[in-house]
Structure 1
Amino acid sequence: MGHAHRADLARLSAPALDALPASLASRHLARPDDPDTRAWLDANASRPHGALATALHRALRRVASDYDVDAWLGMHPMHLLGTTSWRALLGAEHVGGALLDVGAGNGDVTATLAPLFDRVVATETSRPMVRRLRAKGFDAHPIDLATERLPDATTRFRAVALLDVLDRCARPRSLLDAALSALEPRGALIIASPLPMRPHVDVGGHTVDPDEPLGVEGDGFEDALVSLVDTLLAPRGLEVERWTRAPYLARGDRDAPLHVLDDVVLVARRR
């Protein structure tokens, strides 16, 4: 990957801390140099999907969701944080216990978070993605946690991850409440989301508005972050422990070789 592109990503990851409340600015984590991210960029940033795969993806996308088509074709590998960065964000070399990754996709991001836990359970509404998850060895279930229960509903998790999920599901507030109910008393809620939020739901070959409005406002990263905390977390008794700004990366095609979302990644716990 060219140095200019790396510099662009570095600028993307620098929040304006002076535009945030002091209590939130003080919890910011400057991400460490991350070998997993460097390796992902070297392997994917200069290798976009070819013309045939892109054409097939676009044809199938007319009748199926992005998630199903990506799973069928094995396209658009993704990366958020490497394991080094996850350890810094969670403040532990090894958290232990069980992790619930909600909306885990094909497991690319799950795999970087998994080494910190003793056990990983994943959910995903795309059945083709569930097959991908199981092929990678994850205990994966084809359910929407907002409306359905895990097979063992009594299990409590050391951490629950909602990574780029809240802005892409039909019932984000119900999903957030279900995630909290699955946590241990001092468990960690891990949220990643592009900011500003642009909520949408993939249904077949098109997108629709969510059934539940998120209510997160703000036209810039910092304003949207404050709104997310004030609207979704604080009313539920959650306090941000650490947060960082990170590019959520996906291999693209010849028109856009690298897809980048400007994400906040945060860890919150009940007060």
Structure 2
Amino acid sequence: MTFQLERTYGLRAENWYRPETNLSQLAQQKFFSSEADNQTQMFLDNSNKIASNFFWQTVRNIGVMILSSVYTKTDINGMTGFGNMFLFSENQFSKFLTIERSSWVSSGKKVLDLGAGNGDITEHMRPFFDDVYATELSPKMRKRLASKGYTVLDALEWANTDVKFDLITAFNLLDRHYSPSKLLQDLWNVSHRSNCHVIVSLVLPVSHYVEFNPNGSSTRPDSYLNVQGRTYADHVHHMIVNVFKAANFEVVRWTRLPYLCEGDMNNSAYYLPDAVFLLKPIAPKSTPAQATPKVSEVPEDPIPVPQAPTATHTEL
């Protein structure tokens, strides 16, 4: 029986799990249908409870106003616990990876979550792995991750680790990375060496924005993902064909999920349309150093940044 969300608190959920426009034949063939479940409802209910607490929201607003003169929004969320996110439940994750939970053995298995933020999304993968590794550029978020028992790797040197993983994830990171082409190349190198799959998610249509840039203070990446068109469906197709294929990844399947964020005085919760891709590294036609993903040159005018709350899962 399909689970139905009973309360969405003003959010329109008709297309949370289905694209609004027709997919290309290739994208349709790779599409895996997800659906809401009880954990999704629980997140929405809890978010509404927090957003409806006038005292808590007043304290929050004052705290953000004071801290924002010194810290980034991500660091503030790391210190205060604001801005928690939800992308998938344990059951949604296991179904997407076709994991049989009754026979799955987590012992000895390792997962690496890149740009893990405060670890909220990472936590839903924890039951399936013995060891959880994570990276994060925000110092405040790194402390949060360590307090949860994750092994925190250097965010700039993680690709040089000798650890072999059973899964690598990069949730809502590719469009927030200072160098998408480097991230894709590093993902290929480590996943190929580990012989494991990669999960990449990002909000579509693509809109780049860099909060943590080790090369300077620019909020623009050094290159842009080669996607065309204006719709969610357009960008799904071009991510499969222009980006992942060029980076020597085969898209095994992909799904659409709502990327949810805790609300505030204005809204009980916030929503962004995510595409989640399961990728398999494939042998390149040329050497890995030559097989770099297609990217667009940096335009003279910056790409507009979406007017939505900054997610905690979007750092390098």
| CA drift at 1:2 | 6.4
> For 1:140, which of 109, 134, 152 is the aligned residue?
152
Give the match for residue 13 of structure 2: 9
Q: Give the Cα separation in 2 of the matches to 1:109 and 1:42.
A: 17
> What TM-score does the superposition give when structure 2 sets the normalisation length?
0.76
Backbone CA RMSD of aligned residues: 2.4
Q: Give the Cα separation in 1 of the matches to 2:212 and 2:36.
A: 38
Give the unaligned 5+ runs of structure 1: none
Describe the SS at the equivalent of 1:11: coil
CA deviation map 1:157-209 (0-9, x unaligned): 121101001111211210121122111554111011000111011159x8721
Give the match for residue 127 of structure 1: 139
| CA drift at 1:137 | 1.2
2:252 is the alignment partner of 1:234: no
Q: Give the Cα separation in 1 of the matches to 2:10 and 2:254.
A: 21
Give the match for residue 72 of structure 2: 65
Give the unaligned 5+ runs of structure 2: 283-316
2:231 is the alignment partner of 1:220: yes
Letter in 1 for 2:23: L
Letter in 2 for 1:195: L
Identity of aligned residues (%): 26
36 and 156 in structure 1: CA distance in 2 versus 1, 3 angstrom threshold: same
Structure with greater proportional helix content = 1
Give the number of equivalent residue pairs: 265
CA deviation map 1:6-60 (0-9, x unaligned): 871242321157x323232122122144222222122223422502212321442
> For 1:41, which of 44, 52, 59 is the aligned residue?
44
Larger Rg: 2
Q: Give the Cα separation in 1 of the matches to 2:255 and 2:208.
A: 21
> For 1:113, which of 125, 142, 151 is the aligned residue?
125
Give the match for residue 246 of structure 1: 257
Q: Is the 8 A contact 1:24 1:240 kept in 2?
A: no
- Taking the TM superposition and a 5 Å limit, the aligned residue runs for 1:183-198 are 183=191, 184=193, 186-198=195-207
Letter in 2 for 1:182: V
Give the match for residue 76 of structure 1: 83
Q: Give the Cα separation in 1 of the matches to 2:113 and 2:39.
A: 19
Describe the SS at the equivalent of 2:226: coil
Q: Give the Cα separation in 1 of the matches to 2:264 and 2:11.
A: 21
Give the match for residue 169 of structure 2: 161
Letter in 1 for 2:209: H
Structure with greater proportional strand content = 1
Q: Give the Cα separation in 1 of the matches to 2:72 and 2:228.
A: 26
